[in-house]
Structure 1
Amino acid sequence: MTEIYPLAVPKGRKLKCEVCDAPAERMCAACTVTYYCGIAHQRADWVSIHEKICQLLIPLRTTMPFYNSEEERRHGREQLLQRQKHLIELCYKVAQKYLFEGKHEESVPAALHSLRFRTNVYGLNSVQLVPAYLLLSEASIGLGHVVQAEEYLSQAQWTVLKSTDCNNEIQSLMHRNLGLLYTAKEEYEEARYHLANDVTEIWHTYLDQHVQNQLSARKQPADILAKELENDTGLDEAQEAEAVHILETILEIRENTGKEKPASILFILKTVAILHYLMMNISKAHELAVKAYLLSKELPNKEDVTEALRDLLGLIASKDPVTLKAAKFFAGQGQ
């Protein structure tokens, strides 16, 4: 922990806490440009993000040096902008990682930093602020602070409504967070609306292509087969965690909504099973694929669906001999 000292506030200068915006009484002794209302928030910020960015904040929060020419000044401003953009992404990724790990409290200071730097770079009304609002909303949901989550989501929605430059990714994130909020409030109909079918279909199309590639590769010569059957989602660790989170949330909603048809539940079960298989979570993939296979027996015109699930179970078994016997059993059911 960085050593801290009582803060001597210069006359006429109002300093605010980095975490809550309350009047500051302490400062970080290492960078001397970051202030806190008390030791609790200083510790929270240090654990979350400040340890990683302490020295990076100094050039951003001190007076720019004197430059001899306009070219030097322009270069200095560009460097300052790049530093802020770097911190936007660093703080965002750290906050996101904490959320994926279920560490909601630790994610908040990092998300607040990302929001603050976004505001400095893009302005108060920019759609670029929305991802940070959504992180803060999700962290609030995880902490059980539903009212606070609704406030962040309202800010995000209002920003999106005023923007003419909102891409599909941000819209998808918005709907996902609204789905999480309504799930937390046990309002499953609203949650189902926001976690719409097209989200599952997009993921299924993307993930199933990897499975089809592996099934095709099985027909290749042995020297090619080993390489082709290597599991890879094509996603980084954060994206994989995001996919698991959203798809399992949709699955939970569909399983808890009485109006859902077996076909809809089966579709998401298969999608999540494929994702876990590609991530080499073999036991989880097998569990979900078996559940989907048994559910497929309830469907009319089930042959194509059942065959696809037997193929998936065969791939899963190829990665783990323990599941091989079960896969052979399901293969035999189709004969």
Structure 2
Amino acid sequence: MDTQNITPLTPQKDRQVSGWLSFFLFVVGLGAAITVVTSIADFSLDAYDIGVGDFFIYLVALIDIVYVLGIGGLALYTILAFLNKRSNAVFLGKSYLIIIFLSNLLLLLGGDYGDYGWGSLPQILKALIFGIVWLVYLCLSEQVSDLFPKEERKILSRDKYIVGSLIFTPVLLLGISMLVYWGSVPTPMNITLGHGDYSDGIIAFHAPEGAICEKDTVDNVCHTFAIGDSIWGVVIGFYDTNASEEYFKECIDSWRNTELDGYDFSILNTHQEVINQSNIMRMQSVKYETRPVLIWQFSMLLSPETGKACIVSLYSTTEKIENLVNDLMASVRFK
């Protein structure tokens, strides 16, 4: 019998991770690296501000940071376990996929996803689908079965604590957010309005003298007003506590009239002050070189006590409007 061409079987422990299994480990490492890097790059305390105080902001931010680093640590731990063919490797691989799946599922159910990028809805759906595919692969792969026989697989005590904490963390974050939300569900204002007073259920204000004011409910409930043909504007109440300059600039950009982009302009005034002892007002005036000259004054008033805010966007063909806006903002009531 000729035995020269018979290739001896490679002992199980000497076989190397290759093929789809090596690609799986690459995906795990790349995904974890992207998660950690993007989380650090996009980190902002403002993202955790839902109007319930600084303690909640720092608590949730800390938990989120620890969770992201935990995901990165578990990914590295899983990769090393597979490369060194440890008995807990398959358990770690499946656990990692389940944790990522649950995390993305909670994002999907909570609607906490962006319009584009890694946190967008299409990317979350892809992550859910590929998570299921890779989990099925680990369960049915012959290579995984050969390298890690079921009878030799083990689950270490520390693995249970690591995996359990990472599964529990996003559920904890969601639970805290839901409790805070239920505890802060706003109730409409119940006040008596006098002559010239108006309310959208969130704020109340006194219309400027001589103004014709109307309620608009097409998109959001707001009030439009006009004084002759030279002054017109919008007043709207909403829930917000972010008083940062960066957020104010974002609001200005979102309210900016893009039809005026082609005109030269200059910023006349930008300032911040406190109204009625505790309410924070930010204001910016912009002059557009149109014919006639057009003044846009954008003001935001925030009430830290109630978690409410008010925006007044006013246009005028006369520059004598500062007192008008100040009187209007001073008349705003949040409770």
TM-score bucket (shorter structure): under 0.3
* Structure with more relative contact order (C-alpha pairs < 8 Å, separation 6 or more): 2
The structure where strand makes up a greater share of residues is: 2
Q: Which entry has the higher C-alpha Rg, 1 or 2? A: 2
Question: How high is the TM-score relative to the length of structure 1?
Answer: 0.27
